[in-house]
């Protein structure tokens, strides 16, 4: 029995090590993404200052950086994070949570966090009523569990536009918006973007 027990422990240890390494890799990737965003903001501020200096020539650049195309806006007012991005315990087992949950009363307005085009608006398994927006430059946002949707596929939306209302549709334990950010098809930690967002009170 001793040998069998040791073997089981070895397998469990290996599984734990793999899980820890995955989390380390994910944290490293998110840290790099955050650093890249800060670098863009720094460059944008430098460009803005050069415009303000009298007599300074306008720099040649195709950079288009703002709070809206960095998705630095909160999707709901008075946002309270009820579930974070990454690995979490759900139904007694660990699972990967690809976004963050922001709790709010049913009917609370959900706002687009950037300009873009609606590429999905309707019922999606697990997400319930979902709005998905393509912001260009490889950025996509998702807003899940809505009680009502106010936009349709193909519609152009602007940052801060009311696109849906908070609800508890799909796989849900209480009213909230499940918010995801994807960059080039890979899920990013929305907190990286929300860290730059001004507080939304209404």
pLDDT in tens, 76-134: 998 888 888 777 665 566 677 788 999 999 999 999 999 999 999 999 999 999 999 99
Predicted local confidence at residue 65, as pLDDT: 41
Mean pLDDT of 154-163: 97
pLDDT digits (tens, 9 = 90+) for 4-42: 444 444 443 444 566 666 666 666 665 555 555 555 544
According to DSSP, the β-strands at 128-136 and 116-124 are antiparallel
| CA atoms of 136 and 132, how far apart (whole Å) | 12
pLDDT at 141 over 90: yes
Most confident of 44-58, 60-74, 77-91, 153-167: 153-167
Predicted local confidence at residue 17, as pLDDT: 61
What is this structure's pTM?
0.65
DSSP state of 126: T
Mean pLDDT of 156-165: 97
For residue 122, what are the β-bridge partners? 130
Predicted local confidence at residue 69, as pLDDT: 54
For tokens 């909160």, name the residue.
Answer: 74
Report the range of poorest mean pLDDT among 51-55, 117-121, 135-139: 51-55
What residues contact residue 83 under an 8 Å CB cut-off, 6+ apart?
97, 100, 101, 176
pLDDT digits (tens, 9 = 90+) for 183-192: 999 999 998 8
**Could you tell me the end-to-end alpha-carbon distance of the chain, in angstroms, rounded to an integer?**
63
| CA atoms of 88 and 41, how far apart (whole Å) | 31
Q: Which domains are seen in the chain, by residue range?
A: 80-194 (2.70.70.10)
pLDDT at 54 over 80: no
pLDDT at 175 over 80: yes
pLDDT at 199 over 70: yes
Q: Which residue has the higher pLDDT, 55 or 25?
A: 25
Task: Give me 133's structure tokens.
Answer: 């927006």
Mean pLDDT of the residues in the chain: 76
């Amino acid at each position: 029995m001793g040998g069998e027990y040791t073997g089981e422990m070895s397998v469990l240890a290996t599984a734990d090590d793999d899980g820890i390494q995955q989390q380390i890799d994910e944290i490293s990737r998110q840290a790099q993404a955050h650093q890249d965003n800060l670098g863009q903001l720094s460059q944008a501020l430098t460009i803005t200052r050069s415009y303000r200096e009298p007599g300074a020539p306008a720099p040649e650049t195709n950079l288009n950086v703002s709070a809206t195309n960095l998705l630095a806006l909160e999707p709901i007012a008075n946002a309270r994070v009820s579930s974070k991005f990454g690995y979490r315990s759900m139904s007694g087992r660990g699972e990967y949570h690809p976004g963050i949950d922001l709790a709010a009363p049913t009917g609370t307005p959900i706002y687009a966090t950037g300009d873009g085009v609606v590429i999905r608006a309707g019922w999606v398994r697990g997400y319930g009523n979902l709005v998905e927006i393509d912001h260009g430059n490889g950025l996509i946002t998702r807003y899940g569990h809505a009680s009502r949707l106010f936009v349709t596929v193909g519609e152009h939306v602007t940052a801060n536009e009311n696109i849906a209302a908070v609800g508890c549709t799909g796989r849900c334990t209480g009213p909230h918006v499940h918010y995801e950010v994807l960059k080039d098809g890979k899920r990013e930690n929305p907190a990286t973007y929300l860290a730059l967002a001004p507080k939304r009170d209404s």
